[in-house]
Amino acid sequence: MALTQALTIGIDIGGTKVAAGVVDPEGNILDRLRRDTPTKDPRETEDAIADIVRDLESRHDVIAVGIGAAGFVDGTRSSVLFAPHLAWRHEPLRDAVERRLGLPVVVENDANAAAWSEWRFGGGQGESHLVCVTLGTGIGGAILNDGALQRGKFGIAGEFGHMQVVPGGHRCECGNRGCWEQYASGNALTREARELALSGSPVAHNLLRAAAGDPRKINGPMVTELAKDGDPVAVELLEDVGRWLGIGLANLAAALDPGTFVIGGGVSDAGELLLAPAREAFKRTLTGRGFRPEARIVRAVLGPEAGMVGAADLAREEATWLRRVRVKTTAVTAKTAAARGGRSTRLDRAARKSASRRTGMRAAVDPELQPGQLQLNKTAELQGDPEA
């Protein structure tokens, strides 16, 4: 079996469970498993991951494991610097799981993993400048330029949810006030709906009835369901969230100028009820509107398992390093850089990086090499040598 046909496992670590799937190269999930994680202790979570992988491995021939985790994943994609729901601090997750399994492991931010699968298999296919926004309880984000995830210097770029949109606004768990995710996330939708119901307003009658009379039981999916049935208040609540979504997207367009925004996450189940007002607000707040091309805003197509599929696919990328196109590209870039002289050291560095960015692999590239001679040092990668 060629490596490019091989199966990989994608894992989604949530606050209370670990979900895993065996994924083929076309992004199909062939098998699924899920375990509750009783504690937030990293050791026990790692054990749960190893267990679940061994279980799936007994039925499928897999070559690598990708893990999507909410939180800050470092630039080498090995450690979780900070996970909001898991009390993890500088947790060397990749090495810990690799040690237990003997398989190559990739750790990726969950929103990055979801974005990757939307680019490979979903709503962002073929887009050279893609920005993905995942609306769950919070807001996750990812930037993909020419098919390369933009991770930033420390691995934590694309945290759109904590961009400030209202000075002195709602308090956010990140320590600030007025973050975007306090206005355009599932939590924001729920908060607004509950507030309305608590105010005793008669317009919230249907909402309250759906929640059996208890405002605290109102949740996002309830609002979406009611809105789809035409309840005017639910429609309005989604409109408000959509408007904040569009305002934030206009900000992102000023900074990132993407060709397409893909909107995913649970709240995006509301479809046009959310996206139509978002497009409207985007159009009305975009800087320089009328004098610039505008990005498309579309819904994600892969649903809640996008992160799992993306993590698995990134693990496959990592494991199948022999990519002729990339190798050639890198060699040309490196040669051009060498020929330029003067700043060649720096440009060589950039050339190496552009090779490594594509796959996440740190490739050892000698700028003097001809295309056919190029070597990628996978061994060093598995040993975690940062300068390989």
Partner 1 sequence: MGLTIGIDVGGTKIAAGVVGTDGTIGARAHRDTPANSVDETARAICDAAAELIADHDVEAVGIGAAGFVSSDRSTVLFAPNLAWRDEPLGRRVADVLQVPVVVENDANAAAWGEFAFGAAKDVEHMICVTVGTGIGGGVVIDGELLRGAHGVAAELGHMRVVPGGHRCGCGARGCLEQYASGRALVREGRAQAESGSLAAAQMLSVCGITDPAELTGPMITMAAAAGDPCAVELLDDLGRWLGEGLASFATLFDPSTIVIGGGVSAAKELLLNSAKVAFEKNLPARANRPHPTFGLAELGNDAGIIGAADLARRPAPAQEKAAPQAAQAPEVTAPSDAPGAAAEQPQ
Using CB under 8 A as the binding rule, the residues of this chain from 325 to 384 that contact partner 1 are 325-326, 328-329, 332-333, 336, 340-343, 346-347, 349-350, 353-354, 357-358
Kindly identify the residues of this chain, within the stretch 108-167, that bind partner 1 according to CB under 8 A.
123, 126-129, 141, 143, 145-147, 150-160, 162-167
Query: Which of partner 1, Zn ion, none does residue 329 bind (CB under 5 to 8 Å by kind)?
Result: partner 1
Asked if 172 is part of the footprint of Zn ion (rule: CB under 5 A), the reply reads yes
**In the complex, least distance from residue 214 CB atom to partner 1, rounded to whole angstroms:** 30
Of 138, 109, 139, 107, which is closest to residue 261 (Cα–Cα)? 139
Handedness of CA 281, 283, 289, 294 (dihedral sign): positive
Beta bridge partners of 69: 13, 109
Tell me the C-alpha distance between 356 and 174, whole Å: 31
Residues 6+ apart with CB under 8 A from 63: 3, 6, 7, 8, 103, 104, 316, 319
Q: Which is nearer to partner 1, 162 or 194 (CB)?
A: 162
Asked if 283 is part of the footprint of partner 1 (rule: CB under 8 A), the reply reads yes
Query: Which of Zn ion, partner 1, none does residue 38 bind (CB under 5 to 8 Å by kind)?
Result: none
**In the complex, least distance from residue 71 CB atom to partner 1, rounded to whole angstroms:** 9
Report the chain's C-alpha Rg in angstroms.
Answer: 22
**In the complex, least distance from residue 181 CB atom to Zn ion, rounded to whole angstroms:** 6
Instruction: Measure the CA angle with vertex 107, ends 73 and 268; round to 5°.
Output: 80
The H or E element spanning position 72 is: strand 72-73
Single out the segment in contact with Zn ion by CB under 5 A; choices: 31-39, 52-60, 123-131, 287-295.
287-295
Asked if 179 is part of the footprint of Zn ion (rule: CB under 5 A), the reply reads yes
Asked if 292 is part of the footprint of partner 1 (rule: CB under 8 A), the reply reads yes
> Residue from 174, 276, 369, 380 that binds Zn ion (CB under 5 A)?
174
Instruction: Measure the CA angle with vertex 381, ends 376 and 385; round to 5°.
Output: 120
Asked if 245 is part of the footprint of Zn ion (rule: CB under 5 A), the reply reads no
CA distances from residue 370 to 31, 156, 335 in whole angstroms, order as listed:
43, 34, 8
SS3 content of the chain, % helix, strand, coil (to 5): 45, 20, 35
Query: Which of partner 1, Zn ion, none does residue 251 bind (CB under 5 to 8 Å by kind)?
Result: partner 1
Tokens 């000698």 belong to 366
Asked if 15 is part of the footprint of partner 1 (rule: CB under 8 A), the reply reads no
**In the complex, least distance from residue 316 CB atom to partner 1, rounded to whole angstroms:** 14
Kindly identify the residues of this chain, within the stretch 246-265, that bind partner 1 according to CB under 8 A.
247, 250-252, 254-260
**In the complex, least distance from residue 4 CB atom to Zn ion, rounded to whole angstroms:** 40
CA distances from residue 73 to 76, 156, 157, 202, 227 in whole angstroms, order as listed:
8, 6, 10, 46, 36
Residues 6+ apart with CB under 8 A from 164: 176, 177, 178, 179, 180
**In the complex, least distance from residue 42 CB atom to partner 1, rounded to whole angstroms:** 15
Q: Which is nearer to Zn ion, 9 or 286 (CB)?
A: 286
The residues of the shown chain that bind Zn ion, judged by CB under 5 A, are 162, 172, 174, 176, 179, 287
